[in-house]
Amino acid sequence: MARKIVITSGKGGVGKTTVCCNLAVQLARRGYRVIVCDLDFGLNNADVVLGVENRALYDVLDAVEGRCRAKQALVSHPRYPTLYVLSSNRVLERYISPQAIRLILDTLSPQFDFILIDSPAGIEDGFHRAASCAEEALLVTTPHISALRDADRVAGILKSYQFSSVGLIVNQVRRERRRGGMLAPDEIASALRLPLTGVVAEDDKLFRENIVSRSRAFRALAETCIDTVVTRKKRG
């Protein structure tokens, strides 16, 4: 059965989709079978970040509404054979129940190791839908004060979900001398009372290219975050 992990945040634009896609690539490179499930129905850009936006015939809504089987909605990645994307289209005006999505993910789960769920920012319906499809959560924040305040709020809400684990990823961390007044990742983790799963440096290359796997910052994430994620599995 796949471990279902929701990637969430309080503030928008802190790097959920980037972390989700890069984590998926790093796991796939290690041979794990991974689905990136895009439940950010408003912005739905996981397929673009992974470069498969022209390959999808169906999306998650087609599977939910029975126009295709769950497996047919998966888009395989041309470069990583064990990586798949369950994309979504802009469907803001439609209500889609968490139960319907859970059913799709449960159908796919036996053939995969990880289902990483990209969540919309904030604490509205979309966040709750994504959270209620997962058993574990990773909260992404940047070290900026505005992001931390929102992350604190979400961390509180995540507690009510009784996830088997909740970890923190601090993204866009600057080198010591450029940090200014910002807190260090371990200070952020203790302020939010969450274990520090991973730290990702600010990487100018990402700003320019929005790409996966070539970024040095995310190769470094493989060494920390993935090892924590995988070890947890072995222990549990």
Ligand X SMILES: Nc1ncnc2c1ncn2[C@@H]1O[C@H](COP(=O)(O)OP(=O)(O)OP(=O)(O)O)[C@@H](O)[C@H]1O
Beta bridge partners of 117: 6, 37
Q: Which stretch binds ligand X (CB under 6 A): 28-36, 130-138, 181-189, 199-207?
A: 199-207
* Residue 16 binding Mg ion, by CB under 5 A: yes
Closer CB to ligand X, 7 or 83, in the complex: 7
Q: Are strands 74-76 and 83-86 parallel, antiparallel or unpaired?
A: antiparallel
Closer CB to Mg ion, 66 or 92, in the complex: 92
The distance of closest approach from Cβ of residue 17 to Mg ion in the complex, given in angstroms and rounded to an integer, is 3
The interface partner of residue 63, options being Mg ion, ligand X, none and the CB cut-off 5 to 8 Å by kind, is none
Phi/psi at 76 (nearest 5 deg)? -85, 145
* Residues in 42-101 that interact with ligand X by CB under 6 A: 43
* Residue 132 binding ligand X, by CB under 6 A: no
Closer CB to ligand X, 47 or 203, in the complex: 203
Q: Of these, 5, 6, 10, 15, which contacts ligand X (CB under 6 A)?
A: 15
Q: Of these, 44, 87, 172, 197, which contacts ligand X (CB under 6 A)?
A: 172
Q: Are strands 196-201 and 136-141 parallel, antiparallel or unpaired?
A: unpaired
How many angstroms separate the CA atoms of 44 and 67, rounded? 20
The distance of closest approach from Cβ of residue 194 to Mg ion in the complex, given in angstroms and rounded to an integer, is 20
* Residues in 202-231 that interact with ligand X by CB under 6 A: 202-203, 206-207, 210, 217
Q: Which stretch binds ligand X (CB under 6 A): 7-15, 26-34, 61-69, 107-115?
A: 7-15
Q: Of these, 2, 3, 18, 133, which contacts ligand X (CB under 6 A)?
A: 18
Closer CB to ligand X, 82 or 172, in the complex: 172
- Quote the tokens at residue 136: 């574990």
* Residue 139 binding ligand X, by CB under 6 A: no
Asked if residues 11 and 136 have their Cβ atoms less than 8 Å apart, the reply is no
Q: Which stretch binds ligand X (CB under 6 A): 11-19, 52-60, 159-167, 178-186?
A: 11-19
How many angstroms separate the CA atoms of 63 and 5, rounded? 20
**Which residues are at the interface with Mg ion (CB under 5 A)?**
16-17
> What residue ranges bind ligand X (CB under 6 A)?
9, 12-18, 40, 43, 121, 171-172, 200, 202-203, 206-207, 210, 217
